[in-house]
A and B are shown apart, each in its own frame.
Chain A
Amino acid sequence: MQNTEDGVLLALVGQGDEGAMAAMFDRYSRVVYSVALRVLRDPAAAEDVLQEVFMQIWRKPDALVTNRGAIGAWLAVVSRNRSIDLLRRRKPTDSVDDVVLASSTDLAVESERTLMIERARTIMVSLPVEQRKTLEMAFFDGLTHSEIAETTGDPLGTVKTRIRTALLVLRKAMHA
């Protein structure tokens, strides 16, 4: 099942195929775990998030089907959201059905995955440090724009603009 397309794997998961579930895990566990670990900085907690996110796939594979975005991208976002919820010790703030995303990033093939990861990192490194740090504080640390403004001493509007600008630069560069 190593080379099976995401859609086919997901359909098999929907039929209760445990082998397909294992293949899905082999394909995307590294992405999900890395995001969770970056947010939580705790391997045990990141493992818990990893487990929870993949069990969501098993329990509700149709949630991914209805999300037409690439599965890898979807998983990365859901992993981040769950990790932030855990970090803030709050209940899950959204249902997996609610996370609809548009992404042209296909992470199914390992070489593509590696390429996209490298590209994302290169783009982020090229950003002005204050933009990158502000986005990291918001996305990976789950700090609100008020909290970021308090930490950095920047005006609220500046914080919001930096986050938005950083994402737009990333969007443009990823599609280039």
Chain B
Amino acid sequence: MIETPITAEDLTLYAMHLLDGTAVARVDLLLRSSSEARAELAQIRGDLAAFALSAPQHTPPALTRQRLLKQVAREGRAVPIPVAMQDLSPFVIDTPGASDAPAPGARMEKLTVEERRSRVRLPRILSDPELILDANDPSPSDRARPASFTASLPHGVSSIQPVARRESPAVEHLFSNSIAPPPSRTREAPAAAMATPPPELPEDRYESSTPFARSAYVSAEEARSSRFGNVSAWTGWAAAAALAAAAAFLFYTNLAQQQQLEKQSATLARNGAQVQRADVLMQTLQSSAAQRFVLARQDTAPVPSARVAYLPEHASLIFQGTNLEALAPYKTYELWLIPAGEGRQPMPAGTFRPDARGYATLVLPPLPHGTVAGNFGVTVEDDGGSTTPTLPILLIGQQS
């Protein structure tokens, strides 16, 4: 079977996602090989964007903005920064079998919001690798890696799995600072200083790494300075005190957060009930299964009519039309809000088409807040609505 060539018309349908799977695969193939096809597709998308602008313009409800900005604040920024990637060389992210460096395009698993917040709020004393190393962790090489990694990560970036026991220069530096050999020796051979303890070093590494033990194996020349020894000892006490203070701080922060959470849960439950009620109300108004009755004098013939309930403060509007005549294809009814005051232009308040029984509802169409209505009217417009009403006005309001 001879396949028909792909035409610009096919590209147009492709741009609108209206082709089936086989045709899409063919176009994909063409796009990979033809820069002209790619250029034409981009052009078609540009045309479609211009066409999209012909849609009737509506302003989104004000709450949408708040909702978005809340989510933006909640998610924060989750973009890895290049410096952190260098420090991450001993770790692999979602890339099984990879070596030291993350493969190009490797995806980072995002941390939860709580994890990010906890990192952001962590007091310095707990996130500072030096202080953690001096506390009570047994293995210097094991300690150094996660501590330095946490410090180098932008908050909210990723979770990681260590795959190689290798310290980066930054880690070595941190470690050499904390283990307290004399500065000159550390500069010459930091790795050697780590791997080979000096002969005076006691066997118990935990003890040797505490600030108190440091003074026991400093050189004889350094030991002459008793003042320095005292400072070193006090540093340890200060670190322990700071650690305790941080723990207390975290405890009270956690307590406050729990209380806040309980309050928010209660608010959420109340809101949930309100939403449920509003949902039922909306269904009653909008559902095609809802039974509707219009009560009138017995001898009155059915005439088109409508009711509008409008709250300017919230820009909330509910419209219910009855006995509305069916419209020709490509036509629609449009509701207009005529603002109070002379010379003000009618504002489009939504389009609608009646069902087979002549009923139509319009619930919460997008409207600007605070516009006091002088009246409402209904006209027939081309499908999609209009920005200015087309006469005649079929229904006009009377405030009750």
Contacts and interface: CB of A to CB of B under 8 A. Distances in A.
Given A22-B65, A69-B42, A101-B45, A34 B57 contact: yes
Contacts of A26: 65
A167 B48 contact: yes
Q: For chain A, which range describes its interface: under 10, 10 to 19, 20 to 34, or 35 or more residues?
A: 35 or more
Contacts of A107: 53
Interface stretch (B70-78, B182-190, B224-232): B70-78
Contact of B75 (A34, A58, A101): A58
Q: Point out which of B49, B57, B72 has the most chain A C-beta atoms below 10 A from its C-beta.
A: B49
Given A22-B69, A167-B44, A116 B13 contact: no
A130 to B, nearest CB: 10
Interface string B58-99: 111100110111011101111100000000000000000000
Q: Point out which of A102, A103, A135 has the most chain B C-beta atoms below 10 A from its C-beta.
A: A102
A109 interface: no
B120 interface: no
A117 interface: yes
Q: For chain B, which range describes its interface: under 10, 10 to 19, 20 to 34, or 35 or more residues?
A: 35 or more
B53 to A, nearest CB: 4
A31 B64 CA distance: 14
Contacts of B59: 29-30, 33
A18 B61 contact: no
A104 to B, nearest CB: 8
Contact of B60 (A29, A70, A100): A29
B56 A34 contact: yes
A16 interface: yes
A59 B78 CA distance: 7
Q: Is the interface of A mostly helix, strand, loop or mixed?
A: helix
Contacts of A161: 9
Contacts of B75: 55, 58-59
B123 interface: no
Contacts of B57: 30-31, 34, 117
Contact of A163 (B9, B77, B366): B9
B32 to A, nearest CB: 13
23 contacts: A18-B69, A21-B68, A22-B69, A29-B59, A29-B60, A30-B58, A51-B64, A55-B71, A58-B75, A69-B45, A73-B45, A77-B49, A79-B52, A85-B17, A101-B49, A102-B39, A104-B46, A120-B50, A121-B53, A139-B51, A144-B18, A163-B12, A164-B8
Interface of A: 14-16, 18, 21-22, 25-26, 29-31, 33-35, 37-38, 43, 46-47, 50-51, 54-55, 58-59, 69-70, 72-74, 76-77, 79-81, 84-85, 93-94, 99-105, 107, 116-117, 120-121, 123-125, 129, 133, 135-136, 138-140, 142-145, 160-161, 163-164, 167-168, 170-171, 174
